[in-house]
A = this chain, B = another copy of it.
């Protein structure tokens, strides 16, 4: 019952060929006669032969594993994104090895461990690896793709959301709807996405702030989650300058805000206050929120990230690429689409 796994040598014997012929039979680019290949496949089938990836990795000096580095998975957007990445990696014939580096001070050390696996590549979606660690991967010839990170590595490929224009789109939507008293909310702890979104938001508004009666205030909440949005509603809705438009850098902060808003403001009044979120997580489309939001398609980012990695594997020496995935405004009920534009 517990018989040893069949090896290519076993298959070779059964098929009456050499081990190298077996190996080559599984390589489409090798010169193998049709009949021999068939004989080998038959023998492999009969023995239930499965290639030994460890041995293969040793020879090729490259496994088919891709490291997916993330920090924390409570954030629904990150979670959704990781799933998309997993699927994309799998579809490309590689295998995702996930690594969670949340609340680790020792990210570098953790990441270093990945070198042991002869990875085909690493996609870093969060955490703040040091410059050194990136170089360590490069030195070991392991391609690195940075997704939505501040690091401006000259050696890694970079895929970013177009956070700045996402913020600008929200601002533009408010202006077109005639909103004049605006608030933008982000988590106290600065993340790359949030900071850039706020920047884009305020930059778009800059010309209006002087010439017209538009005001824009930045408000910080505790963290990037539902509860923080719930807590911050009080402050925003009871201020002397009650806003008529609020942009949240993350959808779930917006959702928390919307739930809490009912405590301070009537449903009718709430209709006059425009709310825009960012990301378009699944929750945003739930009827309870029906949140107007700036969508960052996690699917597209995931596809772009994996494709970038594959390109790099094909041409290891090409110049590092840098691309931004465009955002898209999704109108729902928390800010109606203006009749004309």
Chain A positions near chain B (C-beta within 8 angstroms): 1-3, 5, 48, 50-55, 57-58, 63, 65, 73-74, 79, 83, 86-87, 90, 95-100, 112-113, 115-118, 136, 139-141, 226, 230, 255-256, 258-260, 282-283, 286-289
Contact = CB atoms under 8 A, between A and B. Distances in A.
Contact of A230 (B95, B230, B287): B287
A19 B63 CA distance: 24
Contacts of A118: 52-54
Contacts of A98: 86, 96-98
A81 to B, nearest CB: 11
Nearest to A59: B54
A56 to B, nearest CB: 8
Copies of the protein in its oligomer: 2
A2 B139 contact: yes
Contact of A95 (B48, B86, B97, B140): B97
Contact of A100 (B79, B86, B256): B86
A59 to B, nearest CB: 9
Most chain B beta-carbon contacts within 10 A, residue among A115, A141, A288: A288
A100 B1 CA distance: 30
Contact of A259 (B48, B141, B288): B288
Given A52-B116, A53-B116, A118-B52, A1 B282 contact: no
B57 A116 contact: no
Nearest to A95: B97
Given A65-B97, A90-B100, A95-B97, 5 more contacts: A53-B116, A73-B86, A86-B98, A259-B287, A283-B283
